[in-house]
Amino acid sequence: MRHFTSVKDIGDLHAALQEALAVKADRFAYQHLGRNKTLIMIFFNSSLRTRLSTQKAAMNLGMNVIVLDINQGAWKLETERGVVMDGDKTEHLLEAIPVIGCYCDVIGVRSFARFENKADDYEEKIISQFIQYSGRPVFSMEAATRHPLQSFADLITIEEYKKKARPKIVLTWAPHPKALPQAVANSFAEWINAIGYELVITHPEGYELDPRFVGNARVEYDQRKAFEGADFIYAKNWSAYTDPNYGKVINTDRSWTVDAEKMALTDNAYFMHCLPVRRNMIVTDEVIESPQSIVIPEAANREISAQVVLKKILESL
Ligand code: CP
């Protein structure tokens, strides 16, 4: 695998899940792969889990790791070509990217949707430029439209907890005070569709996702109806995708918060969320602290998904 930006890059999904189990059983068995290899992790946005789990995964593989927070200590970067750089941006991404590539073997990039221009976001302008100009393998640590390391960890977790061959999984929108990208929801739908499990997406009207990600999932506007008989509830907020409201919060209706009464409609479903989560907006204290909440094992599997992806990239060098 050269680059990793979506489920299509991982190859056979069942084989990748088997590989995840093998890595989890003996995570230090592949240290020879990363010896004298350097990973640079570039963050345009904040992170707790992605930063720690990916660094840990790289260290498990014997790699050296450098972390660069673009907004803390690096030169402010211009990302648009043709701009007269007479403002506060000191360096252009088109020089910065190949320079970064000089100092490492693999690059991880986190760059969220900016909500300035939907076409730019959905063309993945930033990570695409890293792929084009760095000369190195590049993997997404959450880009504008997808968060594949998260979705891979989510799927590993579902495999570990599922009680039936084809579980019913509900992706539910839940309220949040700020505008969040659609990346986690898009990516989750993409990976669940790829594995072929039953997927129901529930959200208020106006929060429809890009149909390319919804795929074969059923969209149900009645959240309670969607929850009936579910095996997994995956909660997430996202801002509006459809025009003219792209990137906007159009609803903060707390009747969509996941609570114990709604969880009781499910088939004793597990509760999942990628974290960070706003308690009592997205989910009540009672649900996230319940035995059915698997948000911590889900976060722990971020180390495993990152390690499988890095392992595959290192094997291709
Ligand atoms: N789930 C996730 O990506 O967490 P961070 O934003 O903390 O990395």
Same domain, 122 and 215: no
Same domain, 116 and 199: no
- What is the CA 82 to chain-centroid distance, rounded? 31
Please give all residues whose beta carbon lies within 6 A of any atom in ligand 1, as ranges: 47-50, 142, 150, 274-276
Same domain, 75 and 196: no
pLDDT score recorded for residue 73:
84
In ligand 1, which atom is closest to the CA atom of 147? 3
- Kindly report the protein residue whose alpha carbon is nearest to atom 6 of ligand 1: 47
Beta bridge partners of 198: 168
- For residue 228, the domain's CATH number is 3.40.50.1370
In ligand 1, which atom is closest to the CA atom of 51? 8
**Mind listing the pLDDT tens digit of every residue in the chain (317 residues)?**
999 999 999 999 999 999 999 999 999 999 999 999 999 999 999 999 999 999 999 999 999 999 999 988 899 999 999 999 999 999 999 999 999 999 999 999 999 999 999 999 999 999 999 999 999 999 999 999 999 999 999 999 999 999 999 999 999 999 999 999 999 999 999 999 999 999 999 999 999 999 999 999 999 999 999 999 999 999 999 999 999 999 999 999 999 999 999 999 999 999 999 999 999 999 999 999 999 999 999 999 999 999 999 999 999 99
Same domain, 24 and 141: yes
Is 2 among the domain residues?
Answer: no
pLDDT score recorded for residue 233:
98
Same domain, 157 and 37: no
Same domain, 38 and 16: yes
Give me ligand 1 centre to Cα 289, in Å: 19
How far is Cα 79 from Cα 144, in angstroms, rounded to an integer? 14
Is 21 among the domain residues?
Answer: yes
Is 1 among the domain residues?
Answer: no
Give me ligand 1 centre to Cα 82, in Å: 33
In ligand 1, which atom is closest to the CA atom of 46? 6
pLDDT score recorded for residue 84:
97
Yes or no: say if 152 and 308 are a contact pair by the CB < 8 Å rule: yes
Q: Which two three-digit tokens encode residue 105?
A: 């073997």
> Which residue range is the domain that position 291 belongs to?
150-299
Q: Which two three-digit tokens encode residue 147?
A: 């968060």
Yes or no: say if 109 and 126 are a contact pair by the CB < 8 Å rule: yes
Same domain, 170 and 213: yes
In ligand 1, which atom is closest to the CA atom of 142? 3
How far is Cα 214 from Cα 138, in angstroms, rounded to an integer? 26
Reported as a single tens digit per residue, the pLDDT across 72-117 is 889 999 999 999 999 999 999 999 999 999 999 999 999 999 999 9
Give me ligand 1 centre to Cα 219, in Å: 26
Give me ligand 1 centre to Cα 276, in Å: 6
How far is Cα 281 from Cα 214, in angstroms, rounded to an integer? 24
- Kindly report the protein residue whose alpha carbon is nearest to atom 3 of ligand 1: 50
Give me ligand 1 centre to Cα 146, in Å: 13
In ligand 1, which atom is closest to the CA atom of 274? 1
Give me ligand 1 centre to Cα 196, in Å: 25
Same domain, 121 and 243: no
In ligand 1, which atom is closest to the CA atom of 53? 8
- Kindly report the protein residue whose alpha carbon is nearest to atom 4 of ligand 1: 49
Tell me how far CA of residue 250 lies from CA of 59, 116, 168, 213, in angstroms.
Answer: 42, 17, 28, 21
Among 64, 63, 62, 72, smallest CA distance to 42 is for: 72
| Substitution site in 43, 45, 49 for ligand 1 pocket (most atoms within 8 Å of beta carbon) | 49
pLDDT score recorded for residue 268:
98
Among 18, 59, 46, 38, smallest CA distance to 307 is for: 59
- What is the CA 188 to chain-centroid distance, rounded? 8
Is 66 among the domain residues?
Answer: yes
Same domain, 41 and 117: yes
Give me ligand 1 centre to Cα 303, in Å: 12
| Substitution site in 47, 69, 109, 272 for ligand 1 pocket (most atoms within 8 Å of beta carbon) | 47
pLDDT score recorded for residue 22:
97
Same domain, 175 and 283: yes
Give me ligand 1 centre to Cα 85, in Å: 32
- What is the CA 120 to chain-centroid distance, rounded? 19
Sole residue written with tokens 């960070």: 276
Same domain, 254 and 159: yes
Same domain, 166 and 252: yes
pLDDT score recorded for residue 71:
87
How far is Cα 271 from Cα 256, in angstroms, rounded to an integer? 15
Among 206, 200, 205, smallest CA distance to 234 is for: 200
How far is Cα 106 from Cα 40, in angstroms, rounded to an integer? 6
pLDDT score recorded for residue 26:
97
Q: How many domains does the chain have?
A: 2
